[in-house]
Amino acid sequence: MPELAEVLRTALNLNLDDRAALAERLLASLDELDEEEADRLWAEEAQRRLKDYREGRAGSVAAQDLAKKAERLFR
């Protein structure tokens, strides 16, 4: 099985239409996950984000500041 880096290099060499079609298909494939797999992936992502926060590689934003920003963006 090809390495991710090799697949990425190949994909980035595709023309714009083919890259867009590939991206669309890859994103659609995420919707095909069963609920258990999706939960597992979200749990891993949550753990990664918490670790980054605790190790100072990520910051935080107050919920009310985030709500104000979202409100401005969606006006």
Domain boundaries, the chain: 1-32, 34-75
Q: What is the pTM of this model?
A: 0.50
Q: Is the pLDDT of residue 75 over 70?
A: yes
Q: Is the pLDDT of residue 1 over 70?
A: no
Dump pLDDT digits (tens) for 6-36: 999 999 999 999 999 999 999 998 888 888 9
φ/ψ region of 54 (left if φ > 0, alpha if ψ in -120 to 50, else beta) reads alpha
